[in-house]
Amino acid sequence: MRLTLRVLSALLRYPDEAVQQAAPELAALLADDGVLNPAQRKALAPLIDSLEKDDLLDQQEAYVALFDRGRAVSLHLFEHVHGESRDRGQAMVDLRQRYEAAGLEITANELPDYLPLFLEYLSTLPPAQALDELAHPGVILAALAERLAEKGTPYAASLRVLAELAGAEDAAAEIAPADDPDDLAALDAAWEEEQVRFDVPAAPGAAAECPQAAAMVSRFQLPVAERSAANG
Protein backbone atom coordinates (compact mmCIF):
# COMPACT_ATOMS: atom_id res chain seq x y z
CA MET A 1 0.00 0.00 0.00
CA ARG A 2 2.81 2.40 0.87
CA LEU A 3 4.43 2.17 -2.57
CA THR A 4 1.11 2.42 -4.40
CA LEU A 5 0.14 5.61 -2.59
CA ARG A 6 3.53 7.15 -3.26
CA VAL A 7 3.37 6.26 -6.94
CA LEU A 8 -0.10 7.79 -7.23
CA SER A 9 1.20 10.87 -5.45
CA ALA A 10 4.04 11.13 -7.97
CA LEU A 11 1.65 10.72 -10.89
CA LEU A 12 -0.52 13.61 -9.67
CA ARG A 13 2.14 16.09 -8.64
CA TYR A 14 3.48 18.89 -10.82
CA PRO A 15 5.77 17.13 -13.31
CA ASP A 16 9.46 17.81 -12.89
CA GLU A 17 12.73 16.10 -13.75
CA ALA A 18 12.51 13.80 -10.73
CA VAL A 19 9.07 12.54 -11.80
CA GLN A 20 10.22 12.10 -15.39
CA GLN A 21 13.31 10.15 -14.36
CA ALA A 22 11.29 7.91 -12.02
CA ALA A 23 8.51 7.24 -14.55
CA PRO A 24 10.12 4.12 -16.13
CA GLU A 25 10.07 2.40 -12.72
CA LEU A 26 6.56 3.36 -11.60
CA ALA A 27 4.67 0.56 -13.35
CA ALA A 28 7.01 -2.04 -11.86
CA LEU A 29 6.58 -0.56 -8.38
CA LEU A 30 2.80 -0.78 -8.69
CA ALA A 31 3.03 -4.40 -9.80
CA ASP A 32 5.41 -5.29 -6.96
CA ASP A 33 3.17 -3.66 -4.33
CA GLY A 34 0.24 -5.81 -5.48
CA VAL A 35 -2.50 -3.41 -4.38
CA LEU A 36 -3.91 -2.55 -7.81
CA ASN A 37 -5.37 -5.13 -10.14
CA PRO A 38 -4.09 -5.54 -13.73
CA ALA A 39 -6.92 -3.43 -15.19
CA GLN A 40 -6.11 -0.54 -12.86
CA ARG A 41 -2.41 -0.71 -13.67
CA LYS A 42 -3.21 -0.82 -17.38
CA ALA A 43 -5.39 2.27 -17.03
CA LEU A 44 -2.46 4.17 -15.52
CA ALA A 45 -0.05 3.17 -18.29
CA PRO A 46 -0.84 6.08 -20.67
CA LEU A 47 -0.12 8.66 -17.97
CA ILE A 48 3.10 6.95 -16.94
CA ASP A 49 4.16 6.73 -20.59
CA SER A 50 3.39 10.42 -21.13
CA LEU A 51 5.37 11.46 -18.06
CA GLU A 52 8.33 9.42 -19.27
CA LYS A 53 8.40 10.40 -22.94
CA ASP A 54 6.73 13.77 -23.49
CA ASP A 55 8.64 17.04 -23.42
CA LEU A 56 8.85 18.21 -19.80
CA LEU A 57 7.93 21.84 -20.54
CA ASP A 58 4.88 20.68 -22.48
CA GLN A 59 3.90 18.47 -19.54
CA GLN A 60 4.22 21.34 -17.10
CA GLU A 61 2.21 23.70 -19.30
CA ALA A 62 -0.54 21.12 -19.71
CA TYR A 63 -0.60 20.43 -15.94
CA VAL A 64 -1.02 24.11 -15.08
CA ALA A 65 -3.71 24.57 -17.73
CA LEU A 66 -5.61 21.55 -16.41
CA PHE A 67 -5.38 21.87 -12.64
CA ASP A 68 -4.48 25.46 -11.80
CA ARG A 69 -6.86 27.53 -13.93
CA GLY A 70 -10.19 27.16 -12.19
CA ARG A 71 -11.66 25.05 -9.41
CA ALA A 72 -13.49 22.34 -11.32
CA VAL A 73 -10.61 19.84 -11.15
CA SER A 74 -8.44 21.46 -8.51
CA LEU A 75 -6.26 18.99 -6.62
CA HIS A 76 -6.67 21.07 -3.46
CA LEU A 77 -9.37 19.09 -1.68
CA PHE A 78 -10.71 21.92 0.46
CA GLU A 79 -11.48 23.95 -2.68
CA HIS A 80 -14.42 21.60 -3.09
CA VAL A 81 -15.53 22.00 0.53
CA HIS A 82 -14.72 25.49 1.77
CA GLY A 83 -13.84 27.49 -1.36
CA GLU A 84 -12.29 30.69 -0.08
CA SER A 85 -14.23 30.82 3.20
CA ARG A 86 -12.39 31.39 6.47
CA ASP A 87 -13.22 27.84 7.57
CA ARG A 88 -10.60 26.65 5.11
CA GLY A 89 -7.78 28.31 7.05
CA GLN A 90 -8.46 26.42 10.27
CA ALA A 91 -8.96 23.18 8.36
CA MET A 92 -5.53 23.74 6.76
CA VAL A 93 -3.91 24.28 10.16
CA ASP A 94 -5.48 21.14 11.59
CA LEU A 95 -4.44 19.02 8.63
CA ARG A 96 -0.89 20.40 8.71
CA GLN A 97 -0.63 19.42 12.37
CA ARG A 98 -1.66 15.87 11.50
CA TYR A 99 1.05 15.71 8.85
CA GLU A 100 3.70 17.02 11.20
CA ALA A 101 2.64 14.51 13.87
CA ALA A 102 3.23 11.78 11.27
CA GLY A 103 6.73 13.15 10.58
CA LEU A 104 5.87 14.61 7.16
CA GLU A 105 7.75 17.78 6.33
CA ILE A 106 5.81 20.36 4.32
CA THR A 107 7.66 22.93 2.22
CA ALA A 108 6.56 26.55 2.18
CA ASN A 109 4.94 26.34 -1.26
CA GLU A 110 2.73 23.33 -0.53
CA LEU A 111 -0.77 23.62 0.93
CA PRO A 112 -1.85 20.75 3.21
CA ASP A 113 -4.95 19.94 1.16
CA TYR A 114 -2.95 19.31 -2.04
CA LEU A 115 -3.91 15.76 -3.01
CA PRO A 116 -0.37 14.47 -3.77
CA LEU A 117 0.72 15.66 -0.32
CA PHE A 118 -2.30 14.01 1.30
CA LEU A 119 -1.31 10.75 -0.42
CA GLU A 120 2.24 11.09 0.91
CA TYR A 121 0.76 11.41 4.39
CA LEU A 122 -1.42 8.33 3.88
CA SER A 123 1.64 6.37 2.80
CA THR A 124 3.07 6.79 6.32
CA LEU A 125 0.04 5.09 7.92
CA PRO A 126 -0.80 1.40 8.38
CA PRO A 127 -2.67 0.14 5.29
CA ALA A 128 -6.08 -0.21 6.95
CA GLN A 129 -5.89 3.28 8.43
CA ALA A 130 -4.67 4.72 5.12
CA LEU A 131 -7.68 3.29 3.27
CA ASP A 132 -10.02 4.52 5.99
CA GLU A 133 -8.69 8.07 5.71
CA LEU A 134 -8.69 7.91 1.89
CA ALA A 135 -12.40 7.09 2.05
CA HIS A 136 -13.17 10.42 3.74
CA PRO A 137 -12.70 12.52 0.57
CA GLY A 138 -13.94 9.66 -1.62
CA VAL A 139 -16.94 11.61 -2.94
CA ILE A 140 -14.58 14.36 -4.14
CA LEU A 141 -12.14 11.91 -5.72
CA ALA A 142 -14.99 10.33 -7.68
CA ALA A 143 -16.23 13.72 -8.86
CA LEU A 144 -12.73 14.71 -9.98
CA ALA A 145 -12.33 11.42 -11.85
CA GLU A 146 -15.59 12.06 -13.70
CA ARG A 147 -14.65 15.62 -14.62
CA LEU A 148 -11.17 14.66 -15.79
CA ALA A 149 -12.58 11.83 -17.89
CA GLU A 150 -14.84 14.36 -19.60
CA LYS A 151 -11.74 16.38 -20.47
CA GLY A 152 -10.10 13.33 -22.05
CA THR A 153 -6.93 13.56 -19.97
CA PRO A 154 -4.88 10.53 -18.84
CA TYR A 155 -4.87 12.04 -15.34
CA ALA A 156 -8.43 10.77 -15.01
CA ALA A 157 -7.13 7.24 -14.48
CA SER A 158 -5.26 8.22 -11.32
CA LEU A 159 -8.35 9.76 -9.77
CA ARG A 160 -10.48 6.81 -10.83
CA VAL A 161 -8.08 4.38 -9.17
CA LEU A 162 -8.08 6.49 -6.00
CA ALA A 163 -11.87 6.62 -5.98
CA GLU A 164 -11.99 2.84 -6.34
CA LEU A 165 -9.55 2.39 -3.47
CA ALA A 166 -11.71 4.77 -1.44
CA GLY A 167 -14.83 2.73 -2.25
CA ALA A 168 -16.47 5.71 -3.96
CA GLU A 169 -16.22 4.77 -7.63
CA ASP A 170 -19.95 5.31 -8.28
CA ALA A 171 -20.41 8.57 -6.40
CA ALA A 172 -19.45 10.99 -9.16
CA ALA A 173 -22.58 10.38 -11.21
CA GLU A 174 -24.67 11.67 -8.31
CA ILE A 175 -22.74 14.83 -7.49
CA ALA A 176 -21.08 16.17 -10.65
CA PRO A 177 -22.94 19.31 -11.81
CA ALA A 178 -24.54 18.78 -15.20
CA ASP A 179 -24.06 22.27 -16.65
CA ASP A 180 -21.03 24.22 -15.42
CA PRO A 181 -18.37 22.14 -13.63
CA ASP A 182 -16.54 25.36 -12.69
CA ASP A 183 -19.55 26.60 -10.73
CA LEU A 184 -18.99 25.64 -7.09
CA ALA A 185 -22.45 26.93 -6.16
CA ALA A 186 -23.92 24.35 -8.54
CA LEU A 187 -21.79 21.65 -6.93
CA ASP A 188 -23.00 22.71 -3.48
CA ALA A 189 -26.61 22.68 -4.67
CA ALA A 190 -26.19 19.18 -6.07
CA TRP A 191 -24.84 17.95 -2.74
CA GLU A 192 -26.90 20.00 -0.31
CA GLU A 193 -29.18 18.19 2.12
CA GLU A 194 -28.88 20.44 5.14
CA GLN A 195 -26.64 23.27 6.31
CA VAL A 196 -23.44 22.02 7.94
CA ARG A 197 -21.43 24.41 10.11
CA PHE A 198 -18.09 24.19 11.85
CA ASP A 199 -16.87 25.93 14.99
CA VAL A 200 -16.41 29.19 13.08
CA PRO A 201 -19.66 30.45 11.49
CA ALA A 202 -19.64 30.74 7.74
CA ALA A 203 -19.04 34.16 6.26
CA PRO A 204 -22.23 36.04 5.27
CA GLY A 205 -23.34 35.02 1.80
CA ALA A 206 -21.10 31.95 1.71
CA ALA A 207 -22.39 29.02 -0.31
CA ALA A 208 -23.80 26.02 1.52
CA GLU A 209 -21.27 23.28 2.05
CA CYS A 210 -21.49 19.74 0.77
CA PRO A 211 -22.61 17.64 3.77
CA GLN A 212 -20.60 14.58 2.69
CA ALA A 213 -17.45 16.60 2.09
CA ALA A 214 -17.95 18.67 5.23
CA ALA A 215 -18.19 15.49 7.25
CA MET A 216 -14.96 14.35 5.62
CA VAL A 217 -13.20 17.51 6.78
CA SER A 218 -14.53 17.15 10.31
CA ARG A 219 -13.13 13.61 10.40
CA PHE A 220 -9.75 14.94 9.22
CA GLN A 221 -9.74 17.09 12.36
CA LEU A 222 -10.50 14.29 14.82
CA PRO A 223 -7.69 12.38 16.55
CA VAL A 224 -7.38 8.85 15.23
CA ALA A 225 -9.02 7.20 18.27
CA GLU A 226 -12.00 9.55 18.20
CA ARG A 227 -12.40 9.13 14.45
CA SER A 228 -12.41 5.35 14.77
CA ALA A 229 -15.16 5.60 17.39
CA ALA A 230 -17.17 7.92 15.15
CA ASN A 231 -16.85 5.49 12.25
CA GLY A 232 -17.83 2.55 14.46
SS3 for 74? Answer: coil
Range of the domain at 85: 2-231
pLDDT per position as a tens digit, 22-40: 999 999 999 999 999 999 9
Is pLDDT at 169 greater than 50 in this prediction?
yes
Total-model pTM: 0.73
**Structural domains counted in the chain:** 1
What confidence score (pLDDT) does residue 148 get?
Answer: 95
pLDDT at position 17 is 95
101-133 residue pLDDT tens:
888 877 757 788 899 999 999 999 999 999 999
How confident is the model at residue 192, as a pLDDT? 43
Question: What digits encode the pLDDT tens for the residues 26-84?
Answer: 999 999 999 999 999 999 999 999 999 999 999 999 999 999 887 889 999 887 775 55
CA 22 vs. chain centroid, Å, equals 21
Residue type at 1?
M
Helix axes 211-220, 138-150, angle to 10 degrees: 130
**pLDDT tier at 14 (50, 70, 90 boundaries)?**
very high
The model's pLDDT over 194-213, given as tens digits with 9 standing for 90+, comes to 332 222 233 333 333 444 44
Helix axes 211-220, 184-191, angle to 10 degrees: 90
* pLDDT level of residue 85 (50, 70, 90 thresholds): low
What amino acid is encoded at 45 in this protein?
A
Torsion, Cα of 199, 200, 203, 209 (10° steps): -30
Number of C-beta neighbours around residue 86 at 10 A: 14
Taking each continuous run of H as one helix and of E as one strand, the counts in the chain are 13, 0
Contacts of residue 225, Cβ cutoff 8 Å, sequence gap at least 6: none
Mean pLDDT of the chain: 77
What pLDDT does 84 receive? 55
**Cα–Cα distance, 20 to 15 (Å, whole number):** 7
**What is the spatial distance between Cα 18 and Cα 3, in angstroms, rounded to a whole number?**
16
User: Model confidence at 227, in pLDDT bands (50, 70, 90)?
Assistant: very low
